Chains A and B, each alone.
Chain A
């Protein structure tokens, strides 16, 4: 120990000495020695979770441990752990025995940083009782969620849990509900992300379902309400775990998960990347990162991208990649309802949400799934101050009994509702078709679009020429001539432009430049909807 020589007077020095001696004496007293030792012991136990054997088993399954995952997800040395000493409180079925108690129980919680920005995390520990959810486990999760909402920072959950802690009965169920409630309360306040990295079954699935984004790890993660055994006994269907609730199923068929990644490392590194797009809370602006892509860059390739024949397909992603910063587009649900493209990108460094009809798939029409996919994305952007850029090439809503019986009216209304309700900056570019009701839906001027552009190839009309002519000139001889007349009149941007429904007709190659400029202007946009308890979106 070094004395503070110069500043302290003699008296102070003596006092200091005395207190130091006392301190040292205490340290050597028996009781304090044991507390210190116990702390060390508990911490060590918490760090090893379910023990080396179970860790090895976890690795063998191709999965990392709860702590390894956090280490990869967060900036080095940034993790601050909470509740390392919390233990479960169950005393039935021999659970009270010391060897059945694990400091920290089956979840690791705390806060840390991703690229310097605050995030609250929980990571379920499969090596402790299969990551099952005890009352204590739920309590830990709730604690960080409460704090995240208080300070305004996102919550990331790494799910790897066998389900409820059966020994605890209703206490475990209560725990789930406590988390659900917080998921709902935090919805629209802070971004919530779930990464499914192992099993997640039964009631547990509803927490990820309530969060903003659910990602999965291929081959090692499952999400289902009831597993294959129960399915077999109830409906007599033979189905594997993978088919029932694997990453492929949920990213292509059910639309439950937003994206799937190759393995734990791939998923966590991608999650770091994704996190950079999000604002910390609904009170924070969309983040702006340093950008090397010139804001006024022309994109010559766009001048030729829309084919001359209006029935020919092209890839909307080519337009998106060409326009956004550095061709970087984090697509959400890339393999589900592919007739609409949604995802995050940046324009001059600022996060934007991109929505685009995809002419390559089902001509880019709107159907039940694409409407729901689009609507949820638009609402996320609106909740978190992320400007929305919409690229329109839509021939209308998909006709047919399957769609009508499935409730396309109700589901299509969701997308309409979401665009209409949104108060963030909204920029719309009509690249080709904007037909019928779908024109209205796709962030049209009438739904408070801030800047609406048309490319020279735009056709804003009630429907395609053929159908229109059959109605307007029913029974008339020269249908071909009538069709040509209709095309001349409506298959161009002018009818919309003369009415001010598009603000300008722009050269496609200048689209990036225009949008960057508009976003700068719209950064200070203020718009509020009438006061309401909450709106009533047609669910």
Chain B
């Protein structure tokens, strides 16, 4: 939260413009509040009462005498009402005019305008579909598969895919119901469904004098639940001709709506490089930094210039593609649960990998920040840049490995896996990348035999280094000194239920670890206070992170992005472990725990009710996402520990079954 405000303020400072931050009361010590020249509180935590509260924001403008408003993205950035109110007060809205916002905000209208501007649109019916039978008829003309979607919609709501007449009728019925309940508008449209497409968008920049430029494309195909995860610029898929064609169409659309400011025209691109207009975003995009990296332009600065009425500084021929940029969206969420369920907490340790060259981190948080249930769980945008894509991706690996985030669950394991996946590396991606590559859900990095040895060896060396240090008492004469230099250690290391016998010998900071007859050489500084563990394994440099190290030999290491739990014991302790009693794990089928922090929207059972397996028990909402919690077995409800409106933490007991 506050990330984009920080980004805008940074450019303002460069341009010598004073800034005012608005914030909700829970954000009063947020970074964007600190970096701004002034700050105004616009209300309590819920966004509807603060960041979406136009009255409060208008008051803040009056109070501070602000001359212009940069709306960032989300919230009021594409709200024509807000833009109108600003105009009425004579305050500049740093963005396009209201008519452009309005025209591009409606799916049917924007498609009609695009078609008129000779932009490729998805074949389909341009008007509102009257009833199910008309839908079937139109579908027949377009050819299956088709997509039925709400005219006012977004975010996948009121959207259905149909492969035949029957599904079309059904889809029409469901979509119109959903559209009505979600948007209060049941108008539907039908278009061809582009199977397995890429999502590629063109950044445009237009001034108030009728000039417009395209700043090349951004490839945003890696998505989960229609939210982008990894983006890059340029795309591996576009050839110069396609790029130019897309760019020119984007510019002609911008001209058609008399667009000014920065905007983004989103396209779906099929495997034959046919591209179709999807929608136009009339604001700065989250992923704008990668365009800045390859073009050298500061988009926020351009937006401010344009809003002030200046002409564009550049010609189309001035716009380069210099190198390659990749952006990873670092989220506070658990990637092991449907590619990311929100997580909350306090960032007990936080360290951005800014000491690496060609790394840019756009964030609005710092060590000690709270990630709350109120806002988007994005921690930062991690951008790396290189002369080539290979270089940028390698840099991204390093940056992710050196990024320290403690206190909240984060998606670095997933990001780290995506950027090294052979399909991603070869550029073979689509919007279905994640479900295709991980059909059973993301499970973390799968270790090869060699990587497994490296991990075991590191854990063993770390264990010995810590053991040796615990014998170092300063200035105490009553310690009997054991010469450790030439010692050998016989250790037993557990990893995913596999048990390995290791022999460790040491010379200074260099450890030789023998695993199943293979020798692994590990050396490093072994700084036990540092969150990062830079080491050299068999001559290769790697950065691991030590997440946990306990007296009982448990060691958690973040290795290749994924965190692995190990247990290191002396041979003696390991051999005695077999006598330790098995702890019986809690029977999870009869208890229902919250999978994430959030608030309880509804509880549909009470004690004594009989529930069937799979029956909904309650609904938890977090970060604008609703999750239906179902019974794991058929049973009677023993007790209910939550009620609608409660705030619950991850793992909190919700309902017990008998």
Contact = CB atoms under 8 A, between A and B. Distances in A.
Interface stretch (A67-75, A91-99, A181-189, A431-439): A67-75
Interface in A197-254: 219-220
B29 interface: yes
A326 interface: yes
A393 to B, nearest CB: 17
A301 B348 contact: yes
Nearest to A276: B470
Given A113-B480, A305-B368, A318-B348, A265 B470 contact: no
B470 A115 contact: yes
Contact of A117 (B479, B529, B576): B479
A404 interface: no
Given A272-B551, A276-B470, A308-B28, A302 B580 contact: no
A259 to B, nearest CB: 12
A400 interface: no
A262 B476 CA distance: 32
Given A304-B368, A308-B28, A68 B530 contact: no
A284 B477 CA distance: 10
A128 to B, nearest CB: 18
Interface in A42-61: 59, 61
B406 to A, nearest CB: 9
Given A64-B576, A304-B29, A293 B348 contact: no
B478 A308 contact: no
B529 A293 contact: yes
B472 interface: yes
A293 to B, nearest CB: 4
Contacts of B472: 289-290
Contact of A303 (B368, B479, B569): B368
Question: In the complex, which range does the number of interface residues on chain B fall in?
Answer: 35 or more
B528 interface: yes
B65 to A, nearest CB: 26
Contacts of A272: 551
A308 B29 contact: yes
B573 A72 contact: yes
Contact of B366 (A300, A308, A327): A300
A265 B552 contact: yes
Contacts of B577: 265
Please classify the interface of chain B as helix (H, G, I), strand (E, B), loop, or mixed, using the class held by over half of its residues.
loop
A289 B473 contact: yes
B369 interface: yes
B580 A265 contact: yes
A295 B478 CA distance: 25
Interface string B289-302: 00000000000000
Contact of A116 (B25, B367, B475, B479): B479
B99 interface: no
A266 interface: yes
A160 interface: no
B474 A349 contact: yes
B624 interface: no
B576 A68 contact: yes
A280 interface: yes
B175 to A, nearest CB: 44
B470 A289 contact: yes
Given A116-B473, A116-B480, A269 B551 contact: yes
B40 to A, nearest CB: 15
Nearest to B25: A308
Given A116-B480, A292-B529, A304 B369 contact: yes
A264 B580 contact: yes
B552 A269 contact: yes
Nearest to B573: A265
Interface in A114-160: 115-118
22 contacts: A59-B579, A62-B579, A64-B576, A71-B572, A115-B473, A116-B480, A265-B576, A266-B552, A270-B552, A284-B476, A288-B473, A289-B474, A290-B472, A299-B367, A300-B366, A300-B367, A301-B347, A301-B349, A308-B28, A308-B29, A325-B529, A326-B528
Interface of A: 59, 61-64, 68, 71-72, 75, 78, 113, 115-118, 219-220, 261-266, 269-270, 272-274, 276, 280, 284, 287-294, 299-305, 308, 315, 318, 321-322, 325-327, 349
Given A291-B529, A304-B369, 20 more contacts: A59-B579, A62-B579, A64-B579, A72-B576, A75-B482, A116-B473, A116-B481, A117-B476, A262-B583, A263-B580, A269-B552, A287-B476, A288-B473, A299-B367, A301-B350, A302-B368, A304-B29, A315-B346, A318-B346, A327-B348
Interface of B: 25, 28-29, 346-350, 366-369, 469-476, 478-482, 527-530, 551-553, 569, 572-573, 576-577, 579-581, 583
**Nearest 3 Cβ contacts at the A-B interface:** A301-B368, A62-B581, A273-B551
